[in-house]
Amino acid sequence: MKISSVSLLLGVCVLLLSALTVSAVSLTVSPNLQQFFTGASVSLTCEGQLGSDGWTVKRDTGSENESCGAGGRGFGRINGSSCFLDEFKPISGVYWCEGEAGEKSEEVNITVSDKPVILEIPALPVRTGSDVTLRCKKKTGGTAAAYFYCNGRPVRPKSEKNITINVQQSEGLYWCSTDDFGSSPQSFLRVRGPPTPTSVTTTTTCVTTTATLSTNSSFTTRVPRPLPRSSFIIPLVATVGSLILVILILVVLQLQWNKHTGRHQLAPTNDVTYAEVTSRASTNKMPVSQPEVIYSSLRR
């Protein structure tokens, strides 16, 4: 019993240490793009080291919050742990994962457009020093030659079908503009570091923008906000509290077991056992035969 209890306590301690290193749940987008034409198929999934049970994909369209698969007041359809948007309406929104306790993941802007062109730009954050390719995609298919802009400044001086940038501190609002098809909607590129840059590709110097910036559509592209500390503290405190409760329960059970079984345990072989011995005289006494002694004297 002692060995099994020690094993359980060690297992709980391992769970406690692992809980302290669990990362927050994040929202993944497949394909990893921010802009889509109406009718595109998109998959949104909540992912984390300990699974995504209890997490729901939600969105804010500017007028109300909606939950994936929530019937008439919701959007999309749920398949397994993913939310599928295979019948996009021309509605853009901010998407995120939300837990049962109200904790949230980082937000992802998704724009659904009926314009002739859209900008192919990653939805998820990119690492500092990595290469990112931007394209101006036509609704009729193919890629259009365009000028690319970041926070109102041209990234390159000439029109190109695509550009590859090495991102440093190049967070900002990007879009493309063509001579024949007009401009795409605007989307915010997020950058996270490290690693350090290893490419010699032309680097952009787009200035970071913290304000909310309007697009050419009715929806306002929202600059992603940093995760509040409560998003990490609430699940961490709940996990630690649950594990401490489990440890206390195991300790109480161990004490109860020792109390219940202590009087039934056999004494160890190296202990001394004392017993009371009573000696009684026998009632049937037999006469003890004594050797006959003959005394004599010798006279001379």
Chain centre distance of CA 23? 4
User: Given this model, what pLDDT does residue 24 score?
Assistant: 72
CATH topology of domain 25-114+219-224+233-254: Immunoglobulin-like (2.60.40)
Residue 89 has pLDDT above 90, yes or no: no
Mean of the pLDDT values across residues 158-183?
89
Instruction: Write down the CATH superfamily of domain 116-209.
Output: Immunoglobulins (2.60.40.10)
Q: pLDDT by residue (tens digit) across 231-268?
A: 445 555 666 777 788 788 888 888 887 777 765 554 45
Q: How far apart are CA 4 and CA 1, in angstroms?
A: 5
Mean of the pLDDT values across residues 21-45?
86
- Is the distance from CB of 98 to CB of 56 less than 8 angstroms? yes
Q: How far apart are CA 176 and CA 153, in angstroms?
A: 11
What average pLDDT does the chain have?
74
Q: pLDDT by residue (tens digit) across 46-65?
A: 987 666 678 899 999 888 88
User: Given this model, what pLDDT does residue 166 score?
Assistant: 85
Q: Could you say which DSSP state residue 74 is in?
A: S
Residue with the larger pLDDT of the pair 177 and 239: 177
* Residue-range domain boundaries for the chain: 25-114+219-224+233-254, 116-209
- 139: helix, strand or coil: coil
The one-letter amino acid code at 208 reads: T
User: Given this model, what pLDDT does residue 52 score?
Assistant: 64
